[in-house]
Amino acid sequence: MSEPQLIAVDRNALAAVHAELRALRQMLTNAQITPRDEWLTVAEAAKEIGVSTDTINRRIRNGEMRANGQTGKMRRVKLND
């Protein structure tokens, strides 16, 4: 192992980094992670996986994706199947 090295750091720069770390720590402490809805609209599913709504509807018709509801805004898609 090599010997530790000391470096000179401007006091103001170090204080700024320390303040930023405190702010990030506070943000992480206050963060709330909400799980994604199990069933998404066709538009939400398309956006999530980066395809068009036509592609989602075609995959539903072909049996490649599971959906509930017939058509329109009430149709929901399950991505994790």
Q: What is the pLDDT of residue 24?
A: 95
Q: What is the pLDDT of residue 27?
A: 92
What mean pLDDT comes out for the span 45-73?
A: 89
Buried b (16+ CB within 10 A) or exposed e, 25-57: eeeeeeeeeeeeeebbbbebbbeeeeeeeebbb
Q: What is the pLDDT of residue 18?
A: 96
Which region among 39-48, 49-58, 72-81 has the lowest average model confidence (pLDDT)?
72-81
